[in-house]
Structure 1
Amino acid sequence: MARNLALVVIDTQLGMFETPGVPPVPDGERLLQSIEGLIERARGADVTVVHVQHAGGPGHPLEKGTDGWRIHPRVAPLDGELVVEKETPDSFLNTTLREELESRGIGRLILAGMQTEYCVDTTCRRAFSLGYDVTLAADAHGTWDDAALSAGQIVAHHNEVMGNGFAEVVPSGEISFREPVEA
């Protein structure tokens, strides 16, 4: 039996792309284009789009109610699209995400968004553990350089790790939003 599909877009908020004093996300324009393309294709295929929005505490770049907390206008939800607020890297922990997906019969997830080594990684692993079929959009998640690795190395490393058991890792342009044909 085919399992309904959803695109889950994690933490694509203004604070991730436009925070004064914080370096821009490497390849941020390309990242936004990839996520925009996924959202456009999902909407065109009548696939559920879920926007996960991190609510940071006081002083955090994603502090709830601030400009940084708002979802980037290029990938913002349309009226009626699901927005799930979270306070941890796990999009399922203490949120309504699982219940919302279950109520729609969704068992297949495509993941994209920010930040590769935190919220994308944690949500991908958790989704797998909960029994979802997961696809990670290889070029539609991003992060910043850290002391040891470049952002590109972090993304490549997570694509490799997630692809070894947690998710199918596929370039965004190759992701199909059609349900698989059952034999």
Structure 2
Amino acid sequence: MSAPQNKQALIVLDMQNGLFHAPQPPFEAHQLLQNINQLIDYAHLKQIPVFAIRHVGSDHTPLASTSPLTQFIAELNIDHDLDQVLEKTRPNCFFQTNLEQRLKSLNIQELIVCGLKTEFCIDSTCRAAKDLRCN
């Protein structure tokens, strides 16, 4: 009998217009997008759940959920019919969202986290995920 495999999920953070197409774009933006799209395509192929999460703010601000700045970039391979799309208001994707419950309902044991920005939302989300893990 083979060892049980970890059930994985892919989390794609903040790949939205206001960050990706900013006056100072991400380092090697084209390669970053290519790498993330490869991860998304692989997840789709292997039936790994994909969670696309975008940062939003208050209505009537540049970060409103309807603002062009907070929309996912058109080049991103997110499938809105297949992937789970969430909104967050803090760097930590677990804060005041139902992400943890969604992951638990799928028995997810391992997260693959990518997107923007490493020093903010990626860091906060990875630290929170580690704190939430119960053994």
**What's the TM-score, normalizing by structure 2?**
0.88
After TM superposition, where is structure 1 displaced by more than 4 Å over at least 4 residues in a row?
A: none
Aligned to 2:34: 33
**What's the TM-score, normalizing by structure 1?**
0.66
Aligned to 1:72: 73
Letter in 1 for 2:102: E
Give, in angstroms, the shift of residue 53 of structure 1. 1.1
Aligned to 1:126: 128
The question of whether the paired residues in 2 share the 8 Å contact of 1:3 and 1:105 is answered with: no
> Per residue, is there more strand in 1 or in 2?
1
* Superposition RMSD in Å: 1.6
Is residue 106 of structure 1 aligned with residue 108 of structure 2?
Answer: yes
Give, in angstroms, the shift of residue 4 of structure 1. 1.2
Aligned to 1:6: 9
Give, in angstroms, the shift of residue 68 of structure 1. 1.3
Give, in angstroms, the shift of residue 2 of structure 1. 3.0
What residue ranges of structure 1 are gaps of 5+ in the alignment? 133-183
- For CA contacts below 8 A with separation 6 or more, give which structure has more relative contact order: 2
Return the alpha-carbon distance in structure 2 between the equivalents of residues 56 and 115 of structure 1: 17
Q: Deviations over 1:156-183 (max 9, x none)?
A: xxxxxxxxxxxxxxxxxxxxxxxxxxxx
Return the alpha-carbon distance in structure 1 between the equivalents of residues 61 and 25 of structure 2: 18
Give, in angstroms, the shift of residue 77 of structure 1. 2.4
> Equivalent residue of 1:74, what SS?
coil
Give, in angstroms, the shift of residue 59 of structure 1. 4.0
Letter in 2 for 1:3: N
Aligned to 2:55: 54
The question of whether the paired residues in 2 share the 8 Å contact of 1:16 and 1:114 is answered with: yes
Give, in angstroms, the shift of residue 91 of structure 1. 0.2
Aligned length: 129
Aligned to 1:159: none
